């Protein structure tokens, strides 16, 4: 990577991105699609694109990701991909027998202007979509947005395609978890279960991308939201969307089409954000918070109290997705750490405003940027070193070159395992995150200490 040659001097770059801090929309759309039970994601473009989307998810989750492709060649690129998609739909339902195909577009199909709505209409008219089966799509060109917006577009498409209202509201609450790990989705459902709230979680990748080893291959694992549940989201009492960018559009669409009131919250990372999630769920469902959750909260608070001396005014640099970074920044500020460099590759002006508000009282200048890249992030760290880095696997190069402790968080994590099995949301997830932060800081303290300072007890 030769990152050690990154210059300290920062110059404005309008037409050049070096090591982008994001990836493309179709990857997010494919991940969201996998959160539907019996669904086969379909990439409407070339085999090269689809292979990249699959491999990126497979490497992160360490699970085989199944998907299909329209397999564009030069002919489809010039004359359009309708014939390819029609044939693909026919083949997929005949050979692989999914309940539903979730189609996302790519740069190529978007550039030539394929009308997916028209093509799907033709496929249904010609009987290529069997009775009781479904196909829907989201527009996800790679040359705009990021994997976060791709996830949001596909999740919103689930609402647009399936949500209906019969005029009678149930007691159910819709939970849109945003782009988080399957383990986080499981933890969100567990918290709702502790409150005794009946929920529909969508998309839901628990037991799809963190399932057990059974010795048998399953094309469509047991997990995922069902089509019937997606249809019933329009009859729910309310919706809680976690993550403004990844979950907000679907919640607002559900409110507009089916009059399901929604609340858009931060991801429940850290004490305050988890409190807001639990409180919103309590109020919306009309329940009380059980002692079990109060106990979990108390344990997290106890750890913060016990260890705050080791967190105090430690400087942190974060890079990742907007929804994740907003929640993480609030969490770090609350435990008296100082997030002084905060960068996302996704363009979003509201992100910059939010981070500046969260860090307004820090006794240190804060750099914040949306639509930035890893080179700028590295330059910030070079010019104003920090005690801890938080970000995806690509940050390891900066961590090595600058000799800074590093915690992996976000997408993609390619060189470690566990993130799909252990949550970082909720009180339990917050405890794990606190442990990871403390361990990184204390490992560095031990490494750098003299023999006299090498303590056995904290």
333: helix, coil or strand? Answer: helix
Residue 79 reports pLDDT greater than 80: no
Average pLDDT of the chain is: 95
Residue 456 reports pLDDT greater than 90: no
Q: Spell out the alpha helix ranges (H) of 259-366.
A: 271-285, 291-311, 322-334, 349-358
- List the chain domain ranges: 25-162, 173-290, 293-448
Q: Spell out the alpha helix ranges (H) of 63-216.
A: 74-79, 82-95, 107-112, 116-125, 147-162, 182-194
The structure tokens 């609350």 sit at: 334
For residue 271, give the nearest of 330, 213, 323, 219 by alpha carbon: 330
114: helix, coil or strand? Answer: coil
pLDDT given at position 453 = 87
Q: Beta partners for 343?
A: 319, 369
Architecture per CATH, 25-162: 3-Layer(aba) Sandwich (3.40)
pLDDT tens digit string along 216-235?
999 999 999 999 999 999 99
pLDDT given at position 146 = 96
pLDDT tens digit string along 44-74?
999 999 999 999 999 999 999 999 999 998 8
Q: What is the DSSP letter of 409?
A: -
Q: Are 328 and 270 in contact (CB under 8 A)?
A: yes
- CATH class for the region spanning 293-448: alpha beta
CATH of 173-290, one of 3.40.50.720, 3.10.20.30, 3.40.50.1980, 3.40.50.1220: 3.40.50.1980
For residue 136, give the nearest of 118, 153, 117, 150 by alpha carbon: 117
Structure token digits, residue 30? 């494919």
Residues 6+ away with beta carbon under 8 Å from 318: 325, 328, 329, 332, 339, 341, 342, 343, 389, 390, 391
pLDDT tens digit string along 131-172?
999 999 999 999 999 999 999 999 999 999 999 999 899 999
pLDDT tens digit string along 358-402?
999 999 999 999 999 999 999 999 999 999 999 999 999 999 999
pLDDT given at position 2 = 58
Burial class (CB in 10 A: 0-12, 13-18, 19+), 313: exposed
Instruction: Note whether 25-162 and 173-290 share their fold.
Output: yes
Max Cα-Cα span within the chain: 80
Radius of gyration of the chain (CA): 23
pLDDT tens digit string along 274-311?
999 999 999 999 999 999 999 999 999 999 999 999 99
End-to-end CA distance of the chain: 37
Residue 414 reports pLDDT greater than 70: yes
pLDDT given at position 155 = 98
Q: Are 50 and 203 in contact (CB under 8 A)?
A: no
CA atoms of 100 and 158, how far apart (whole Å): 11
Q: Are 360 and 337 in contact (CB under 8 A)?
A: no
CA atoms of 114 and 112, how far apart (whole Å): 6
Residue 1 reports pLDDT greater than 70: no
Average pLDDT score over residue span 171-189: 97
Residues 6+ away with beta carbon under 8 Å from 207: 182, 221, 222, 223, 224
């Amino acid at each position: 990577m030769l990152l050690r040659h990154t210059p300290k001097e920062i110059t404005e770059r309008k037409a050049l991105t070096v090591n982008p801090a994001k990836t493309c929309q179709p990857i997010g759309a494919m991940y969201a699609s996998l959160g539907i039970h019996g669904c086969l994601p379909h990439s409407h473009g070339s085999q090269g694109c689809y292979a990249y989307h699959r491999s990126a998810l497979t490497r992160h989750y360490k699970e085989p990701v199944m998907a299909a492709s329209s397999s564009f060649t030069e002919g489809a690129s010039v004359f359009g991909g309708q014939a390819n998609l029609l044939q693909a739909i026919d083949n997929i339902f005949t050979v692989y027998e999914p309940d539903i195909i979730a189609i996302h577009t790519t740069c190529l199909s978007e550039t030539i202007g394929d009308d997916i709505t028209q093509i799907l209409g033709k496929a249904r008219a010609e009987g290529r979509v069997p009775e009781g089966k479904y196909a829907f799509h989201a527009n996800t060109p790679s040359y705009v947005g990021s994997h976060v917006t791709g996830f949001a577009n596909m999740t919103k498409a689930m609402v647009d395609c399936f949500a209906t209202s019969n005029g009678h509201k149930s007691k159910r609450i819709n939970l849109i978890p945003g782009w988080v790990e399957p383990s986080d989705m499981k933890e969100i459902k567990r918290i709702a279960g502790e409150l005794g709230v009946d929920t529909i979680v969508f998309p839901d990748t628990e037991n799809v991308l963190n399932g057990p080893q059974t010795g048998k291959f399953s094309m469509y694992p047991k997990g995922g939201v069902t089509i019937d549940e997606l249809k019933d989201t329009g009859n729910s009492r309310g919706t809680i969307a976690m993550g403004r960018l990844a979950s907000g559009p679907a919640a607002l669409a559900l409110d507009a089409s089916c009059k399901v009131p929604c609340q858009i919250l931060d991801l429940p990372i850290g004490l305050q954000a988890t409190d807001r999630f639990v409180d919103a769920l309590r109020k919306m469902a009309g329940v009380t918070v059980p002692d079990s959750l109060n106990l979990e909260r108390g344990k997290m608070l106890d750890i913060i109290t016990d260890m705050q001396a080791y967190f105090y005014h430690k400087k942190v640099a974060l890079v990742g997705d907007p929804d994740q970074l907003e929640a993480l920044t609030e969490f770090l500020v609350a435990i008296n750490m100082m997030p002084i460099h905060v960068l996302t590759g996704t363009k979003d002006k509201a992100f910059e405003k939010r981070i500046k508000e969260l860090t307004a009282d820090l006794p240190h200048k804060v750099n914040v940027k949306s639509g930035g890249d890893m080179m700028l992030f590295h330059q910030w760290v070079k010019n104003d070193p920090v005690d801890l880095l938080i970000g995806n696997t690509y940050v390891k190069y900066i961590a090595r070159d600058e000799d800074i402790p590093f915690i992996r968080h976000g997408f993609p994590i390619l060189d470690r395992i566990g993130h799909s099995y252990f949550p970082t949301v909720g009180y339990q997830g917050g405890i794990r995150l606190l442990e990871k932060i403390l361990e990184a800081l204390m490992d560095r303290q031990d490494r750098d200490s003299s023999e006299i300072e090498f303590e056995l007890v904290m």
